[in-house]
Chains A and B, each alone.
Chain A
Amino acid sequence: MIAEIGFVALSAAFVLAVYATASSAWGGYHERPAWVQSARSAVLLIAGLLTVAVGTLVYSLQQSDFSIAYIAENTDLAMPSYLRLTALWGGQAGSLLFWAWLMSCFVAAVMLGKWEQDRDLMPYFITVATLTTGFFIGVTVFISNPFARLWLPPGTDQLTVAFFPPAGAMLYSVPDGNGLNPLLRHFGMIFHPPTTYLGFTGFVVPYAFAMSALISGRARDDQWIRTSRRWTLVAWGFLSVGLLLGGRWAYDVLGWGGFWGWDPVENAMLLPWLTGTAFLHSVMITERRGMLKLWSVLLIVLTYSLALFGTFITRSGVISSVHAFGKTALGPAFFIFIGITFLGTMALMIKRLDLMKSDHEMESFLSREAAFLLQNVVFLAITFVVFLGTVFPLISEMVTGDKVTVGPPYFKATAGPLFGVLLLLMGVAPMIAWRKQVAARLGNRLMAPVLVSAVVAVFWGYTYESPWVAYPVLWLVVFATLAVLMEFWKGISARMSQGENPVAAFTTLVSLNRRRYGGYFVHLAVIMIGLGFIGEAFFMKQTQGTLAQGESLQIAGYAVRFDTLRQYIGADGRQVTEADTSVLRDGELLATLQPRQDFFSEHGQRVTAPDAYATLGGDVYVILIGWEDIGMGGSTFKVYYNPMITWTWLGSFVLLAGTLVAMWPQRAGRSHRSYVLNPVTPGPKLDAGGAA
């Protein structure tokens, strides 16, 4: 019964999405506010109905209603209830429902927010946003229904999956479900997929604003770009954290190897992140100088399109990946949807090109604007090489008949140096003046950080026996860090000279310029995150050995001693083999680690769970890879020393904090409009039933 309620809610949400799309478009075109108001109510109702649908599925998951095919396929009785909750997004149908729900919540949040500023854009905003949301709802209603039940038609022993019972069929409930894929039975499953989905679905808001501005011909007004920026920041923040959580999960469960593997699906998540980051920068130029408008619109559109593209390749099985959901019936529907979206968006942009003229021309190639533009170009270059590497198997197979896959070496060689250029720009750009910079003055400003960072980098590299290729990278890291810290210091010292104490100076500085200093926090975070990648590329150490009890492996000044091995059956039936190892330094015990291997006999799958002793300098990362009879012969371990990886995880907190600072609304009343902004003339009041 509960599932039926869910399906009815889902179907009603679909009908309302169709209605809202049509009525908002009609209302917008014919300037009938009542229709738009009605569409708005429909949007809020859709979010409510999808909440009911998600709620019923969660309830049925917790109740282990194995007559529902999705629940029988993705859960079993032995699963703890938190994992049963995660099964909501652990399979195809549920994750699509979850996706549609998140998207509807974002759109509803816009409806609940202030309408005044973007009133003129709202009709078509609703049209575009509900069209997209409606597609995802439609997929769950017609193609991949999470509420479909198992039926036993008369005279056969083959189960049928359908929502409406086939003639004469009996409802069938399996005694126990298949359970979640063992690789997904991890705490990472709670956080990584939802945050990533929040990031992906959140991009629909800036996209719908951009499309609405283009459709209504108001793309010249800058207000919508401002609104889009904040929403992009929200989605971008979630996507960033989602990416990092995915990395952390991969690090904790060895099966996926390392923390970033350049897998097609990981790339698919990175692509919108790259263009989204570029947009967050280009939008500053658009706001301050009225330049790069077309570029900013293009980046918004590209970000959303890449998010859709990523979803398509994950869901359709077009590109093979460990993350892919496998071949499904979704492919053709999705293909038509992205085809319409991409072509429609492009046609609209071409039609409205004239609306997006810049208010100003670039005055000098040595200016903040030019630095930002260069930074944007580099971001797009990375996007291009990653995109090309991801679709290359398809291109080569279509052209030559042979599928050629490029692996991490390609991505590291192409994207790696470009990320280096970004680090350099991150350090230099804030020191360059807007409009025009006198070269000699810039040289003076750069002198100190360049020299100091060079000295530190040489010292650092020498101490850690760095290979020569790492020296420029270390220099870049130190230089970029110094440059960011100098920006903070400049602001703080100016306030301190007016008699403020350092703490007060810092807090006022940040709270008065949230966007700017929030951005700098994010810059620091990016450098911290980069440290883990640099450590992996240049300083990682590894060793392996079969140890009898009491024997040790030596790595990076640490000793890892094998103490004992035990086997037991875990709560969900997994067979656990777990070793006790001790990490020692100079004979002193620092930590006890329990690397283990879990075997899931019903899936025939083994999951390796490493354990790590983490310090700021580096992690001692121990993997149990083999054993003989318990406690007798010995066990084989692989031990890594992963330098600076902890900085990557700490960086994610700083990134989150920085994003929140940048996102936090400034006190009302403060105007941010620069002298070049086009004044926005607010549209006539759009009261319910009133005339626009």
Chain B
Amino acid sequence: MLMTSERAGNGNRPRLRYIVAGISVALMVGLLILLGWGLQNTNAPQPEAGMAPTFSLTSFDGETLALEELRGKVVVINFWASWCIPCRAEADELEAMSRKYRDDVVFIGVDYADTEKGALKFIEEYGLTYFQGPDLGTRISADYRIRGVPETFYVAKNGELRGVKIGPLSPGELEFKILELLDDR
């Protein structure tokens, strides 16, 4: 398009010039509308309290899990991706905790903006056994307004959101939070 406009200038072909000008202006106005619309919908910060946004997630093995069916259990939702380096640092801790609290806490790994191949390799590499599924269309990530990966959300037994950790989990932090939520009646 841009090259055409140069030729249009060279050849003094007014019609082509109007077409090029029209398309350019339309694209520019389109971009401005997009940005203006985006500004209207500017992201609020992550939700930290209130009811956790519900979702259902289909795992890499084809099983489906819905958050509202997990009432009565503590839920840890971890957003991650195979390309994310800090996610690697916390992977072992998440797996260890998911095994330790298998009966009382449900761990959900939400794979964000990733390739299936990369994700499966990551899961295999760290021997992750808890529920893992791709966030198709990044819908869940959008509902939780994540800013990047890793991010970890804690959901209490009654379905309320009880905090978010942006960035990799620190040692002991996860267990501390789990114990706090398990005590919760």
Contact = CB atoms under 8 A, between A and B. Distances in A.
B93 A294 contact: no
A118 interface: no
Contact of A406 (B9, B24, B41, B113): B113
B43 A298 contact: no
B10 A357 contact: yes
Interface stretch (B50-58, B101-109, B133-141, B153-161): B133-141
Given A295-B2, A327-B44, A391-B34, A608 B21 contact: no
Given A294-B9, A320-B43, A335-B35, A409 B114 contact: yes
Interface string A404-430: 111111100000000000000000000
B42 A317 contact: yes
Interface in B71-100: 81, 83-86, 88-90, 92-93
B39 A403 contact: no
B43 A317 contact: yes
A407 B42 contact: no
A368 to B, nearest CB: 18
B138 A404 contact: yes
B28 interface: yes
B154 to A, nearest CB: 14
B89 A608 contact: yes
B168 interface: yes
Contacts of A402: 137-139, 142
Given A255-B168, A342-B28, A353-B17, A332 B2 contact: no
A169 interface: no
Contacts of A357: 9-10
A258 B86 CA distance: 9
Nearest to B33: A398
Interface residues of B, number: 56
Contacts of A636: 92, 171
B83 A407 contact: yes
B166 to A, nearest CB: 8
Contacts of B59: none
Interface stretch (A65-73, A156-164, A620-628): A620-628
Nearest to A317: B42
A606 interface: yes
A225 to B, nearest CB: 15
B85 A257 contact: yes
Given A255-B86, A263-B148, A627-B171, A394 B139 contact: no
Nearest to B17: A353
Contacts of A380: 2
B39 A332 contact: yes
Contacts of B67: none
B125 to A, nearest CB: 9
A625 B91 CA distance: 10
B70 interface: no
Contacts of B32: 335, 338-339, 342-343
B167 interface: yes
Contacts of B31: 342
A86 interface: no
Contact of A298 (B2, B29, B168): B2
A48 interface: no
Given A406-B113, A597-B170, A312 B142 contact: no
Contact of A354 (B12, B88, B139): B12
A2 B156 CA distance: 51
Contacts of B34: 391, 394-395, 398
B86 A254 contact: yes
B35 A312 contact: yes
A407 B6 contact: no
A397 B42 CA distance: 12
Given A335-B36, A409-B83, A322 B89 contact: no
Contacts of A346: 24-25, 28
A318 interface: yes
A477 B170 CA distance: 40
A449 to B, nearest CB: 31
A326 interface: yes
B42 A331 contact: yes
Interface in B114-148: 114-115, 118, 137-139, 141-142, 145-148
Given A255-B86, A316-B39, A354-B12, A599 B170 contact: yes
Nearest to B118: A409
A319 interface: yes
Given A353-B5, A353-B8, A407-B83, A606 B39 contact: no
A436 to B, nearest CB: 20
B45 interface: yes
Nearest to A536: B85
Given A404-B138, A625-B89, A316 B42 contact: yes
Contacts of B145: 320
A625 B43 CA distance: 31
B137 A404 contact: yes
B52 to A, nearest CB: 18
B12 to A, nearest CB: 7
A327 B42 contact: yes
A405 B112 contact: yes
Given A405-B112, A606-B170, A626-B171, 7 more contacts: A319-B38, A320-B43, A332-B39, A398-B38, A544-B88, A626-B92, A638-B89
16 contacts: A254-B168, A257-B84, A257-B85, A316-B39, A316-B42, A318-B42, A320-B146, A320-B147, A331-B39, A343-B25, A343-B29, A346-B24, A353-B8, A398-B37, A402-B138, A406-B113
State the 10 A-B residue pairs at the shortest beta-carbon distance, nearest first.
A407-B113, A257-B85, A403-B142, A353-B9, A318-B38, A626-B171, A606-B170, A408-B83, A405-B138, A350-B21
